[in-house]
Amino acid sequence: MFALMQSAHVESLHLSIDPVTGLKAVIAIHSSRLGPALGGCRYLAYPNDESAVNDAINLAQDMSYKAALAGLAVGGAKAVIMRAPHVESRSALFEAFGRCIEQLDGRYITAIDSGTSTADMDCIAQYTRHVTSTTAAGDPSTHTAMGVFSGIRSTASSRLGSDNLEGLRVAIQGLGKVGFALAEQLHAAGAELLVCDIDPGKVRLAMEQLGAHPIACEALLSTPCDILAPCGLGAVLNWHSVAQLRCSAVAGCANNQLASLQVADQLERRGILYAPDYVINSGGLIYMALTHQGAQPATINQHLLHISQRLTSIYAHAQAEKRSPARVSDELAHKLLYDED
Ligand code: NAD
């Protein structure tokens, strides 16, 4: 465990149990150099304790990178609550987690993530103020989608020579909270949508409301398109899938899209422009961090605008240095987090 913490540069790891509610929680704080560590709380079933700890550790670093590149005064963290087949009271479970967070005295701020909701954050908020994305603060997904949409514009501009999305074919994998909101914005901008989701109801809705073309889930990655937007799972880009891609660029909201950094080099060799996930999907974090700090909507919108500018700058560096944008952004984040100035 310590070796994994060391290789992921995780600052501290906190394990909590509450026998009364059945809570088993892991909080991995990656870095608090730039401020208190903010990161979502997952509530998922894990095959064993080790995989839950690994998930928290592996995801925490991306949050630090995301915050650093977004210019936010927060660090990065991730929490995981292990989902049991049966729980007596979901609200009691999240209240217990709120008490755990309070013990960290503001070093960790939690937020919504896979498997958690604004209602869960409300339960946590009864015991600590170190929580965002409550019902009052709002779900960050629409802001994530806004950032991805503007990032797709700059990606189109850098790779295809124009940010006009009219007639552009965008393949979206996953029509969840972010994917569907993104599809709506792309449709309004005149893009042609090719979509898939394991939930047929979401695909039907996109067909009816946005004129989207349905694609079988197993065929989406190899479907000819201009831009592929992974908006479902992590690690969709691996040696095998990248070899099958028939797109000019990959730009979507999913976290941890690359199975490894070497896959980014493979994309580069294939001439496929890759929008680093933690840069293009930072809109939600920007919204949560700034809302928590009491910023006004105008300030938040200003920050969101920087996403496309940041991507354009990363693409320009990558092109000049003939290497993947993923390597350029990792290097930038590393400098911000570790260089002494
Ligand atoms: P979500 O759970 O609302 O949506 C995910 C969607 O993907 C669901 O509709 C699901 O059915 C679909 N899906 C899952 N597996 C699939 C598969 N194999 N093929 C096709 N579709 C599949 O989640 P979300 O909040 O929209 O987030 C989507 C991704 O973006 C996640 O990776 C998340 O970590 C990341 N992300 C989300 C936010 C945010 O603000 N919500 C911010 C940053 C990153």
- pLDDT tens-digit readout, 18-42: 999 999 999 999 999 999 999 999 9
Average pLDDT for residues 299-322, to the nearest whole number? Answer: 96
Alpha carbon distance 59, 30 (integer Å): 9
Topology of 141-338 in CATH? Rossmann fold (3.40.50)
How far apart CA 27 and CA 120 sit, in angstroms, is 17
Note the pLDDT of residue 341: 59
If we measure between CA atoms, which residue out of 111, 130, 113 comes closest to residue 121? Answer: 111
Q: Is the CB of 138 under 6 A from ligand 1?
A: no
Q: What percent of the chain has pLDDT over 70?
A: 99
Is 179 marked as binding a ligand?
A: yes
Query: If you ran DSSP here, which 8-state letter would residue 260 be given?
Result: S
Centroid of ligand 1 to alpha carbon of 248 (angstroms)? 22
Residue 217 carries which DSSP code?
G
Write out pLDDT tens, residues 195-247: 999 999 999 999 999 999 999 999 999 999 999 999 997 889 999 999 999 99
Task: Please check the confidence at residue 88 and state whether its pLDDT lies above 90.
Answer: yes
In this predicted structure, the answer to whether residue 318 has a pLDDT above a threshold of 90 is yes
Ranges for all domains in the chain classified under CATH 3.40.50.10860: 2-57+74-125
Give, as one character, the DSSP assignment of residue 30.
E
Interval between CA 145 and ligand 1 midpoint (Å) = 11
> Quick one: what percent of the chain has pLDDT higher than 90?
94
Q: Is 253 in the pocket of ligand 1 (CB under 6 A)?
A: yes
Task: Return the half-sphere exposure (C-beta side, CA atoms, 13 A cut-off) of residue 1.
Answer: 14
pLDDT over threshold 80, residue 338? yes
Q: Is pLDDT at 113 greater than 70 in this prediction? A: yes
| Residue 339 binned pLDDT confidence (cut-offs 50, 70, 90) | confident
Residue 92's pLDDT band (cuts 50, 70, 90): very high
DSSP state of 230: E
Please indicate whether residue 143, judged by its CB atom, sits closer than 6 Å to ligand 1. Answer: no
Residue matched to tokens 């100035």: 341
Q: Which pLDDT does position 235 carry in this prediction?
A: 86
Q: Which CATH number fits domain 2-57+74-125: 3.60.15.10, 1.20.140.10, 3.50.50.60, 3.40.50.10860?
A: 3.40.50.10860
Query: What band does 159 get if pLDDT is binned at 50, 70 and 90?
Result: very high
Which pLDDT tens digit goes with each residue over 245-300?
999 999 999 998 999 999 999 999 999 999 999 999 999 999 999 999 999 999 99
Residue in 43, 80, 197, 300 to alter for ligand 1 test, most ligand atoms within 8 A of Cβ: 197
> Which tens digits make up the pLDDT trace of 160-203?
999 999 999 999 999 999 999 999 999 999 999 999 999 999 99
Residues of the chain with CATH 3.40.50.720: 141-338
DSSP single-letter state for residue 161: S
Annotated active-site residue 78? The verdict is yes
Does residue 340 register a pLDDT over 80? no
Give the span between the Cα atoms of 247 and 270, in whole angstroms: 10
Distance set, CA 171 to CA 151, 229, 300 (Å): 15, 6, 28
Separation CA 32–CA 52 (nearest Å): 22
User: Are residues 217 and 196 in contact, defined by beta-carbon separation less than 8 angstroms?
Assistant: yes
Q: Is the CB of 231 under 6 A from ligand 1?
A: yes
